[in-house]
Structure 1
Amino acid sequence: MVRTSLNTSLSKRRLRKSKGPSEDRLSDLPDELLCRILSELSTKDSVRTSLLSKRWRNIWLSVPVLDLDTRTFQDDDYLFLEFLDSFLESNKEQDIKEFKLIYDAGEHCDSDFVWRIDDVVKRRVCHLTVLNRINGDDALVRMPLSLYSCETLKTLTLYCVVLDNPKSELVSLPCVKSMHLEAVKFDGKKVLGTLISSCSVLEELIIVTHPGDYLEEVCVRSQSLKSFELESTPGDGYEEYERQLDPEVVIDAPRLEYMSISRYLSTSFKIDSIGSYAKVNIDVTFDVDYGDPEKIAMIYNFLIGISLVHEMIISAQTLEVIHVLSKLEPLPRFPNLSCLDASFIKSFWKLLPTFLGCCMNLQSFVLEFDSLPERDEMKVSYVPECFLSSLEYVNLFTPTTVTEPMNLPIYFVRNCAVLKELVLNESFSNMIRKIKRIPRLSQRCEVLVGTPTYEDVSHKHDLLSIMYP
């Protein structure tokens, strides 16, 4: 009886204890673990935890991540700087693993800004992002020279800032694997090239040029680079005829697996090396005199530079350059090209058989076009080598406004010996039955109506969407 009574009493005590206030187990965690938890939140939410209790009051100051937008400080520059300084001075030995700043200060002081970013860099920063909304040369936002020798930096993202010439400073970024540079001004012709070559393990590089960058040359020499994207942004209000020329380009990256060049207009584009079997997206034109043998040789060598790629997306503008070149001399061959996505316009339909003739091992072909060729516009008697040996998938895509699009499907159906699938978009829907009745060289060929599988990579990395969500 005594034992039963004792057990009952203990059970009641446990019940009363469980009904009391819930235990705050989160606050009992060590500071290091709490900082790791808060580092997954935005800085704004991290600061809010200081209101929870005395235990939480200063935890956010030890979080190694800072994510700031000056506009969240109600356009009060002093309040923003006070907050940033309090964070930087709270624990001067604290590493800052990640620092992101969207900057829009009304009263910009260059020297004060530089020393604050310099403090961040020297705090062994790993991921640095500075996106500047200030426009105009009267308020240039500069990066500290210490950035060139940050041994812990792994990713660097910059928008509308200035990188000064390091001059005699030691330039070495041994841990940087990813860089995204947009609208960046370089105070010296060789600054960009020096920056890239100093990143010994760099794997991903994105450069977006803007009018007023004063960038003279994009020199990409890297033994480690795997992905490179270069895009030109002409700017609002620019007509095509008044576009500024983009910087000259030199690429020497033997391990490059992916390259995308978008909306680029240049007088010189040199490819010393990229990886064999790479994938490329090419949208580049040349402002050159086609009567100049040196310029013709430059364009031919550009094609030689991409001749070993495995997959290619090519714009109508670049195909127009190739069309002009094909009239002057034979085109180089593309022996490794397996997948091709090409955009054609009416003025160079005669190029199609010639260009496909250079792709002797082509397996998949997506063709986008704005008009249909007349029969005499194509060398219908010429059958490219890939038609007989390798071409298995063809996808034809044209606007629905194009009518009577019969000649092109006939060209492929009658001449492709190993064709497995011919996909046509809705423009062909009214005549799909007629196309299916056409005698086919390949008995395995299916004719289908579907959507093209081409890739749109334009504006893929626009930092403005981050600054103005």
Structure 2
Amino acid sequence: MDMLHNHSHGERNTFSIDRLSDLPDSVLTHILSFLQTKDSVRTSVLARRWRYLWAYVPTLDFDGENKDFINKAMLLHIVERVNTFRLLLDKDYSFHDYPLDTWTAFAIMRRVQNLDLCLRFQVALPRRLFTCKTLVHLSLTSCGAIPKSGAVCLPSLKKLHLIRVRYEADESLPYLISSCPVLEELLIESIMHLVSCIISSPTIKWLTVQFQFNRYRSYSHDYRLEINTPALIYLNIVDGLSEHIESGPLSSLTEAYVQVHNDQEKQDDFLYSRSVLEFIDRLRHIKCLKLDLFTDIVDSAFSTSAVSFRNLTKLTLFADCRFLSKFLQSAHNLEIVFYFEAQKRIKRWMEPQQAPGYLLSRLRTIQLFTIQREIVRYLLRNATVLEKMVVVYHCALNFEERKYFLHEISAFERRSEVCELAFVNLLDWDFDGMRRTKRPDGTQRSAKMHLKTITLIDIVGTKHELEIARYVLRRNAEVL
């Protein structure tokens, strides 16, 4: 039996090897295209058939290799067309050591479709890059500068990612975008050299923008963020810098994540507040909204806003209770609400002015963190079909305070007969849904997946601060 078993096992191994050997070269090169080029080259020692197979792989992916390796790989590369060319240069090397212009020319001559340059130092980009007719996806990281004039034409480009790049002037970004007639996806992160960030395109469908404050730089300009993208269906904005934000019509938009964390001194608080509220009003056609506001909105500007969200079914809100009241009043089809009351400056809860039965007629799920019990009371008393409410209480509450808090809310009147009431400690609440963003390709990604370093500033060691620190360490221990 043992001999028979060993013989059968050997046959299975041989059969597996034969199956791999029988695969056509096109399949094997496709498999190798998922590897970095240095790993693809290493397969040449497997067998005679594999010796030059890597040279036919339509992908060249270099990550920190030296100049000699890259030059030799390009010299021996045989395939006539390069689908993907990725170049990540090590920051320990001077950019003078790398013939970037020559390598870029090589990719363009091979009719490259996907080009990813991550240089880790600010280096001038070859101008021929901006006239490549075959590019479909272009990603630039830590390089520049994006030109403000001259020959720029990318007729096939559909995806453009600009991360920590330099711009010759404010006109550089709109000039580049206008030269991409079929652009559908635009991602801009860590804008460093623009005063006015102007994004205008009739074709963009997915837009991600980070316009953030850097504590190590001084700012004295009137920073502006302007968006004119009528075909947009997904929007992700992180704005911590602009004094004015505005947008054209967004009638096609269905999902958005908007984070405004601007705590800097404004030239005019009223004008700034009004621009933020008018921008939010532009999102009126949306179905799913995540709104994170940690900025001062003056009451006088708020009273003039007219927010209307008749298509909104899911709302994740990190803001003061004025926004919660407004959304409950204007979003009549809301079904799911996640609410985290901003603790910076607590605003007194004001009930919506319209009849509550009509406002909350579809609300089924609520999760909220607030110190204002009147908000909880109002929702329980008026949500007619509410199925579940999760009330999150503060981690700093002692046992007696927590007991009183739970007893008081449990005694509130419930309009819905099927409503379940649950209580969760803030440290145990899974509020990832408030921070998680969706990529344009539909996949979701939590920021803490790649978190390596956490810096806590202005910590004095209070009980509450220590509890938060313990929570952060516990939730991120696997990746820190």
Of the candidates 285, 289, 314, which is equivalent to residue 339 of structure 1? 314
Q: In structure 1, give the amino acid aligned to 2:88.
A: I
Would you say how many aligned residue pairs link Structure 1 and Structure 2? Answer: 420
CA distance in 2, matches of 1:312, 1:322: 22
Q: Which residue of 2 aligns with 1:178?
A: 159
Q: In structure 1, give the amino acid aligned to 2:52.
A: N
Q: Which residue of 1 aligns with 2:422?
A: 448
Scaled by the length of structure 1, what TM-score is found? 0.75
Q: Which residue of 1 aligns with 2:413?
A: 439
Q: Which residue of 2 aligns with 1:9?
A: none
Q: In structure 2, give the amino acid aligned to 1:326.
A: F
Q: In structure 2, give the amino acid aligned to 1:44.
A: K
Deviation at 1:371, TM superposition (A): 5.5
Q: Larger Cα Rg: Structure 1 or Structure 2? A: 1
Q: Say whether 1:106 aligns with 2:88.
A: no
Residues 219-247 of structure 1: per-residue CA shift (max 9 Å, x gap): 32233322211123544x549xx567695
Residues 84-121 of structure 1: per-residue CA shift (max 9 Å, x gap): 22222335762221111111262322883222222212
Question: How do 1:264-283 residues align onto structure 2 when only pairs under 5 Å count?
Answer: 264-276=240-252, 278-283=254-259
SS, match of residue 266 in structure 1:
coil
Q: Which residue of 1 aligns with 2:176?
A: 195
Q: Which residue of 2 aligns with 1:313?
A: 290
CA distance in 1, matches of 2:190, 2:222: 8
RMSD: 3.9
Question: How do 1:51-200 residues align onto structure 2 when only pairs under 5 Å count?
Answer: 51-70=45-64, 73=65, 80-91=66-77, 94-104=80-90, 106-109=93-96, 112-134=99-121, 140-165=122-147, 167-174=149-156, 176-200=157-181
Q: Give the direction of change, closer, same or farther, for the CA distance of 1:32–1:458 in structure 2 (3 Å limit).
A: closer
Q: CA contact under 8 A between 1:101 and 1:131: conserved in structure 2? A: yes
Deviating more after overlay: 153-162 vs 186-195: 186-195
Deviation at 1:408, TM superposition (A): 2.8
CA distance in 2, matches of 1:381, 1:331: 13
CA distance in 1, matches of 2:377, 2:412: 7
Gaps of 5+ in 1: 1-14, 74-79, 135-139
Deviation at 1:340, TM superposition (A): 1.8
Q: In structure 1, give the amino acid aligned to 2:306.
A: L
Q: Which residue of 1 aligns with 2:457?
A: none
Q: Say whether 1:301 aligns with 2:301.
A: no
CA distance in 2, matches of 1:261, 1:170: 27
CA distance in 1, matches of 2:393, 2:179: 51
Question: How do 1:339-378 residues align onto structure 2 when only pairs under 5 Å count?
Answer: 339-345=314-320, 349=321, 352-354=324-326, 356-369=328-341, 377-378=348-349
Q: Which residue of 1 aligns with 2:229?
A: 253
Q: In structure 2, give the amino acid aligned to 1:336.
A: N
Residues 393-439 of structure 1: per-residue CA shift (max 9 Å, x gap): 321125xxx6xx64332121123334333222355973545434322
Q: Give the direction of change, closer, same or farther, for the CA distance of 1:373–1:410 in structure 2 (3 Å limit).
A: farther
Q: CA contact under 8 A between 2:170 and 2:197: conserved in structure 1? A: no
SS, match of residue 334 in structure 2:
coil
Q: Which residue of 1 aligns with 2:380?
A: 413
Q: Which residue of 1 aligns with 2:197?
A: 218
SS, match of residue 86 in structure 2:
strand
Q: Give the direction of change, closer, same or farther, for the CA distance of 1:371–1:95 in structure 2 (3 Å limit).
A: closer
Residues 121-149 of structure 1: per-residue CA shift (max 9 Å, x gap): 23111211111223xxxxx3232222223
Gaps of 5+ in 2: 1-6, 395-400, 439-444, 454-478
Q: In structure 1, give the amino acid aligned to 2:227.
A: I
CA distance in 1, matches of 2:14, 2:89: 42
Q: CA contact under 8 A between 2:273 and 2:302: conserved in structure 1? A: no
CA distance in 2, matches of 1:208, 1:367: 27
Q: CA contact under 8 A between 1:277 and 1:311: conserved in structure 2? A: no
SS, match of residue 249 in structure 1:
strand
Residues 10-63 of structure 1: per-residue CA shift (max 9 Å, x gap): xxxxx9xx99x9697556766544433322322222111222344433332232
Q: CA contact under 8 A between 1:197 and 1:220: conserved in structure 2? A: no
Q: CA contact under 8 A between 1:229 and 1:260: conserved in structure 2? A: yes
Scaled by the length of structure 2, what TM-score is found? 0.74
Question: How do 1:322-333 residues align onto structure 2 when only pairs under 5 Å count?
Answer: 323=299, 325-327=301-303, 329-333=304-308
Q: In structure 2, give the amino acid aligned to 1:332.
A: V
Q: CA contact under 8 A between 2:293 and 2:319: conserved in structure 1? A: yes
Q: Give the direction of change, closer, same or farther, for the CA distance of 1:91–1:204 in structure 2 (3 Å limit).
A: same
Q: In structure 2, give the amino acid aligned to 1:314.
A: L
Q: CA contact under 8 A between 1:266 and 1:285: conserved in structure 2? A: no
CA distance in 2, matches of 1:82, 1:373: 59
- The percent of aligned pairs where both chains have the same amino acid is 25
Q: In structure 1, give the amino acid aligned to 2:129.
A: L
Q: Say whether 1:229 aligns with 2:208.
A: yes
CA distance in 2, matches of 1:255, 1:303: 17
CA distance in 1, matches of 2:342, 2:87: 44
CA distance in 1, matches of 2:384, 2:248: 37
SS, match of residue 60 in structure 2:
strand
Q: In structure 1, give the amino acid aligned to 2:105.
A: D
Question: How do 1:451-466 residues align onto structure 2 when only pairs under 5 Å count?
Answer: 451=429, 454-457=433-436
Q: CA contact under 8 A between 1:117 and 1:143: conserved in structure 2? A: no
SS, match of residue 356 in structure 1:
helix
Q: Which residue of 2 aligns with 1:12?
A: none
Q: Give the direction of change, closer, same or farther, for the CA distance of 1:388–1:215 in structure 2 (3 Å limit).
A: closer
Q: Say whether 1:50 aligns with 2:27.
A: no
Deviation at 1:165, TM superposition (A): 1.8
Residues 178-235 of structure 1: per-residue CA shift (max 9 Å, x gap): 222110112233322232233333332211124xx31233332233322211123544
